[in-house]
Chain A
Amino acid sequence: MNMNRRQFFKVCSAGLGGSSIALMGFSPTAALAEVRTFKLARATETRNTCPYCSVACGVILYSMGDKAKNAKSRIIHIEGDPDNPVNRGSLCPKGAGLLDMVHSPKRLMHPEVREAGSSEWKRLSWDDALNRIAKLMKEDRDANFIAKNEAGGTVNRWMTMGLLASSASNNEGGYLTHKVFRNLGILSLDTQARI
């Protein structure tokens, strides 16, 4: 650092003056303690349903950012939705800890398949996964579909396939699930969401 004689004296006198004033009791007072700022003030709120059980409590996901193009959102807090008639804001311990499930390093983020005879899970795209499921379902249905029972009555059963539907379905989602899979002839149909 370059400093001439004049600047050196200036800095010295300013320092000495400042510290003397502080010593005489004119030091700036520490900022008065105050409540922590509210961390959700400008967070984006998104309504959702808790994924765990059939009660299907309403939750609000709070994320950073206001959805601007260059801002990447991340969920920073989750709590119960007070406007949801099911839980009116309350959540059980699992629901209250949803944030850590969302960000869990063990969370399944994409479709995976374990082929017959293999011991390893392999990642595949959503398209491939859906095509594969459709193909296998069709094969199985073609092979095992029962159109008529022994007495000759039409039954249209598909007894070798079962479906476990989402627990987070609403009435309409449940109705559609029921409609589609009963049409295919599936009888073993269950969900926590009480279709």
Chain B
Amino acid sequence: MALQSLDIKQRSATTTPSPSERQTVEVAKLIDTTRCIGCKACQVACMEWNDVRDEIGSVDGTYNNPTDLTSSSWTVMRFYEKENNSPFDLEWLIRKDGCMHCADPGCLKACPAPGAIVQYANGIVDFHQENCIGCGYCITGCPFNVPRISKKDSKAYKCTLCSDRVAVGMEPACVKTCPTGAIMFGSKEQMTEQAEHRIGELKGRGHGKAGLYDPAGVGGTHVMYVLKDADDPTQIGLPASPTISALVSVWKGFAKPLATLAMAGVALGSLFHYVTKGPNEVSKEIEDEIEKEDAQ
């Protein structure tokens, strides 16, 4: 398992092909929202492992703490209060937010800095801050609004799925610490099976709408959710059918080669113009005229 993360599948702003001969295990993290108790151990373990500490913020009236993802809070529990038919039928829904590690990552597509965003063969999408130019295009490209630019160094940060741990055969820090086993880790295949098993269990208990969140719009994700109400993921802040923003596809897919063509055209045109017409020369009469005007 050790070598798999060293194989790079895709690299931002790079056209040379990546090694693709080795067939390695695709990994996935499965978050079972029906088992989560919102204890935030994952948040703490994430900060501890990644050596980041966020600044102490202020309470916004909810249990969200910190209130949003930041460049040093790579995962955040989000709490949702859902009122059902009667005012006594309340539901408290909790979701661990963070990078989804899309198979078709919008951030990587949008990134103009070579090698600042890479996708490993095991599915992890990782940011390499030393190559990051801090433009923030990854935020525009992300369908889940995950990356954040640091105020300290103006570079983008997000969950790495603990690529350093996974590379040596360990599970991510959040997965290991989770006291209720709501976060699981394994091969994508295993996790899909695990999810199906759990969904069957939930359906047996009367949660007919239980399902897996592994959106096809971004090619599937390497962080998947088991949802009690999979028919409406928006109630816990997940987009119903996430896709890469049309802006990114247009600029990077369609406009970029056109722009390159246009630039090459301008260069070629100028060359031809120079060869056929030669340099721009000012005739003697005009020069004299200007001199006369200046003298007056």
Instruction: Give A contacts to B, CB under 8 Å.
Output: 30, 32-39, 41, 77-80, 82, 87, 89-93, 95-97, 99-100
Contact = CB atoms under 8 A, between A and B. Distances in A.
A38 B168 contact: yes
**Max count, chain B CB within 10 A of own CB: residue among A92, A96, A100:** A96
Interface string B33-64: 00000011101110111000100000000000
A93 B118 contact: no
26 contacts: A32-B115, A33-B8, A33-B11, A33-B115, A33-B118, A33-B126, A33-B128, A33-B131, A36-B160, A39-B164, A41-B168, A77-B49, A79-B45, A79-B49, A80-B176, A90-B177, A90-B181, A91-B179, A92-B39, A92-B41, A93-B40, A93-B41, A93-B44, A97-B48, A99-B48, A100-B48
A34 B164 contact: no
Contacts of A91: 41, 45, 177, 179
Interface string B8-25: 100100000000000000
A96 to B, nearest CB: 4
A121 B48 CA distance: 32
Which bracket fits the contact residues of B?
20 to 34
With most chain B CB atoms within 10 A of its CB, the pick from A33, A36, A78 is: A33
Closest 4 CB pairs between A and B?
Answer: A96-B44, A96-B45, A93-B41, A36-B164
Contact of B6 (A34, A39, A87): A34
- The interface residues of chain A, by DSSP majority, are classed as loop
Contacts of B48: 77-79, 96-97, 99-100
Contact of B165 (A32, A38, A87, A99): A38
Contact of A92 (B47, B131, B164, B179): B179
